[in-house]
Amino acid sequence: MTIARRRVLVTGGGSGAGADLALGFARAGAAEVVICGRRVSALEATAAQHPAIRALPCDVTDEASVQALYAQAGRVDIVIANAGQADSAPFVRTTLDQWNRMLAVNLTGVFLTFREGLRQFDGWGRLVAVASTASLKGYAKIAPYAAAKHGVMGLVRSLALEVARRPVTVNAICPGFLDTEMTENSIRVISEKTGRSLAEARAALEALSPQNRLYRPDEVTAAALFLCGPGSDGINGQSITIAGGEV
């Protein structure tokens, strides 16, 4: 069992971990990697970096859009639900719109992506959710995000039992703060709300790691390649945590 000749779909593939995942699987010999998201220019920039990558637009919170994505992509063997969004606010100031948005992108998006992916598997398949350490523990001021990510782990564990007698596995990768565009946005928000410099805000996030650093997107890619490669058949319903010992 190798990545070679497998077809892969990565949501949120235009930047950050998604772009690194797409390139990692393409370089590992995947027959094709289909990436999707809402920012077409970012998707095209990633696709331009390797001939095996194809970009398609998709809103993972919209059922019809996800169904159209799979219709255009063709049958895939590996589905990586990576699309996500972060937000923060004290709980009493959190609006219903913020709550709904966090659940829609981070939980409903995984549900729709996995459901349509599983429906079209022809035998062997891999479902991988890029979740978060917020799937496994709480953090102040991100209750909707943490609730959604905890929901992803519940989905992964439950679905894993449904497919356990098939050559299909369902797992999650749970990184701490990644050195990506999404974290840069979080750093800017922290700076604006607290008056700290950008460097101080970044240091505050790094300090959450016992290794005192942000994690690299290629660490997520390495874990995903492992979950989809030789020797991974018995790993099902699990979370691989990339957090330096935090969780």
Phi-psi category of residue 244: left, alpha or beta, with phi > 0 → left and psi -120 to 50 → alpha: left
Q: Is the pTM of this model over 0.85?
A: yes
Its CATH architecture, for the domain 7-176+216-240, is 3-Layer(aba) Sandwich (3.40)
Contacts of 156 (CB under 8 A, 6+ apart): 129, 131, 170, 171, 172, 237, 239
- Catalytic-residue membership of 139: no
pLDDT (tens digit per residue) in 72-109? 999 999 999 999 999 989 999 999 999 999 999 999 99
> What is the per-residue pLDDT across 115-126, written as a single tens digit (0 to 9) for each?
999 999 999 999
pLDDT at 40: 96
In the beta sheet, which residues pair with residue 215?
178
Convert the pLDDT of each residue in 20-46 to its tens digit.
999 999 999 999 999 999 999 999 999
Report the alpha-carbon angle 192-193-196, nearest 5.
Answer: 65
How much of the chain, in percent, has pLDDT values that exceed 70? 100
Q: Which secondary structure element, helix H or strand E, spans residue 192, and what is its range?
A: helix 181-194
**Domain boundaries, given as residue ranges, for the chain:** 7-176+216-240, 179-214
Average pLDDT for the chain:
96
Q: Which residues of 213-246 are buried (b: 16+ CB within 10 A; e: fewer)?
A: ebbbbebbbbbbbebbeeeeeeebbbbbbbbeee
Q: How much is the average pLDDT of 146-168? A: 98
pLDDT tens digit sequence for 178-193: 999 889 988 998 899 8
Tokens 């981070």 appear where?
106
> Tokens 């050559």 belong to which residue?
167
User: Can you give the pLDDT at residue 1?
Assistant: 60
For 125, the 3-state DSSP assignment is strand
Identify residue 90 by its one-letter amino acid code.
P
Q: Of residues 70, 139, 145, 215, which has the active-site annotation?
A: 145
The pLDDT score that the predictor gives to residue 185 is 87
The C-alpha atoms of residue 156 and residue 42 are separated, in whole angstroms, by 28
